[in-house]
Amino acid sequence: MGRSVVARALAAIAAVVVTSTVLVGPGSAAPTRPEPAPPSVVGLAPVTVRQQVDEPEALPRRKGSVPLRRTETFRSGAIGGSTRSGASGASTLSLAPDGAASATAAATGKVALRALVVAVDESDFGLPTWKSTLDRVGAAYDVLLTRDSALTAETLVRPDGVGRYGAVLLTTSSLLYAENGGYVSGLTADEWNLLWTYERDYAVRQAVLYGSHGTWPEDYCLSGVSEGAVGATPVPTALTAAGAKVFDYLKPSAQVPVVESYVYRTAVRSDCSATPVLSAGNDTVGVLSPSADGRERLMLTFTSNQYLLQSDLLAYGLFRWASRGLFLGEQRHYLHVDVDDWFNSADHYYPDGHVESDPGYQMSGHDAYNVSLRQQALRQKYPLAGGVTLGMAYNGGDANLNAGNRCYPNGGINKLTPTTRCLANQFRWINHTLTHPELNFTDYATSRAEIADNLAVASRLGLPVDGSVLKTGEYSGLGVYNPDPDNDTDPPTDFGLTASNPELLRAARDLGVKYLHGNMSFPSHRPACFNCGTTHPLEPSVTVVPDWPTNVAYHCTTPAEETAFYNSFYGPNGKFPFWPTNLTYNQVVSAETDVALSHLSSGSLYSHTFHIANLRDYGSGRTLLTDWLDSLLGKYSAYYAVPVLSLDWPALAQRAAGRNGHFAQLAGGVDGVFDRTAGTVTLSSPTAGTLTVSGARTAAATTYGSEVSTPVTLTAGQPVTVTASPLP
């Protein structure tokens, strides 16, 4: 009955959603980023993704070029000699008998699934961007700091002739740095030629994060139009037809906003065959430029840093193009949203700042029914979000166990339980304990009862719940709490996971709990690797998988309430002042979804947390949560062509645990080699485990847009060969 009612009402509610987007209109954009560093407080969500970094600068200029030695090749027995003063083990290259510049016997046609990041030194502006991009993917890579380290043949080629790298990633096109009143390149002329020879002989592509017109060390076929610094006001850039193929995970019509950057506006010269991939008006700011000796090069002509959306949108595409989509790891985009305290009540914050707790806010049957309609309407409005399903963390202690199974579209508080039963399969349900106690110091019996009895309620009501996942109230029991139990206003203290409640952990283990929700605002809950979980130090059978908190306050139900609370924290006179002026509601939503968009665009797996007060229908079916979703999905859909993935919590947690295994393989020395002739990838590792490989196919492979990836399970010391599926 509930589904048919939902279906009949969907068309009407969808029309409301279409006209209620909070993205557009006056005052919808967040104000200019202020100068102070954003607050970082245990228990609070980030207020912005941007961080203070050095001001972007123009590239150093140097006249001339490095003479290209086209006849040099990698050949057997050619290693030896030196090209840099004081360097040992450098290489001299030999000339093939016919003078050809093609691959010789030493170039095997095999390259490792590993990237080489080439930078000047640790202060290189582009280095953190490349590293964060690769770490998010879970790629294997090495960094060459050219100011102090020589580039040698051994750097690039193994003794058996296999190329060590399948992609070359430069921070800048010139690698120039200041020295003795002038500019020096991090690579000598011999080293530049060594790198180019490797790229040529092994057919390895080169991607440059930041470059410009000019001829040093080589010409990218660009002439200068204008240049200058860009602040917070975006310069809109567009993909060309060629760019839409390179960055095919983006919408062809996507406008990539370039901010806080130094931009070279250029033009492709008519005397060569370069192709623009990204344009700013009539100017070129990204170029696909084959070299004079046939090497493939891709370059952007503006700075980026790891906190900017432009980096999330483009840096992965540079790497994917350079590697031909063949690398360890994968990139996906996820949207997970959990709502805490279903069946429970919440404090209620009012615009004048006072809070009511008795009775506070309580959900109604109408609120539950309304959010199911809004969820379906958002799926309909945003096809890329067709699988998004809200997770409801429930406290069964306040449920009516004798309620029937019927939807009440206009039902009051007493109709919440029957409406919940009617909508049981519309949401995903998460064990949030029976009565929401703080579990920091509870005994075994209490902890066990809170977990087990809540599962019994779900079974009685017909709510599908996986007992392997537990979310404790306020993430309690996991080492973060206020030492003064009567202090509910100050941020908690993070004592670390070793300060967790051992009786809670024992009860959870005994009941089959494998995954506990953590909180990304707690330092001890942040995993050591991207999209990973943390194996609990006191109970290794349990993995802590963190959530993203948001600044949509747990006790706010209307725009006026949320705006007042947000400004009381982050306005110029707030508890943690950040913004130079108080924000409007639309600005609050835009600022919050900018943060969330950074999570989606970076590929973060973790869920975003809200509370039942955020589900109140404050008018025309709108809620604080669905306003947030509408804004976020509107932004995502403006950029991306690939869908957001929405996993149930067990699958999400398993994927996080799988990432632990993937990074363990990277740390353990896993090796992947692409054989271009055979069309295969061979993987081997000194340790047993499972990792993910992009650009390879097995029976377990999955596709995402034009990409394919697969898990590969390895036995220590035993190679596994799979079919390669490189991108063009």
The secondary structure of 632-691 as a DSSP string is: HHHHHHHHBSSPPB---HHHHHHHHHHHHHHHHHHHHT-EEEEETTTTEEEEE-SS-EEE
Q: Tens of pLDDT along 495-534?
A: 999 999 999 999 999 999 999 999 999 999 999 999 999 9
- Write down the pLDDT at residue 225: 98
Bridge-partner residues for 69, per DSSP?
none
Q: Tens of pLDDT along 551-598?
A: 999 999 999 999 999 999 999 999 999 999 999 999 999 999 999 999
In 231-345, where does DSSP find H-type helix? 241-246, 309-323
- Write down the pLDDT at residue 488: 73
Q: Low-confidence residues of the chain, pLDDT below 50?
A: 1-28, 76-83, 85-105
CA distance 612 to 286: 46
- Write down the pLDDT at residue 490: 82
Structure tokens at 418: 């029957």
- What's the pTM? 0.93
- Write down the pLDDT at residue 74: 74
Angle of helix 309-323 versus helix 127-137 axis, rounded to 10: 70
Run of H or E residues at 184: strand 182-185
CA distance 281 to 613: 45
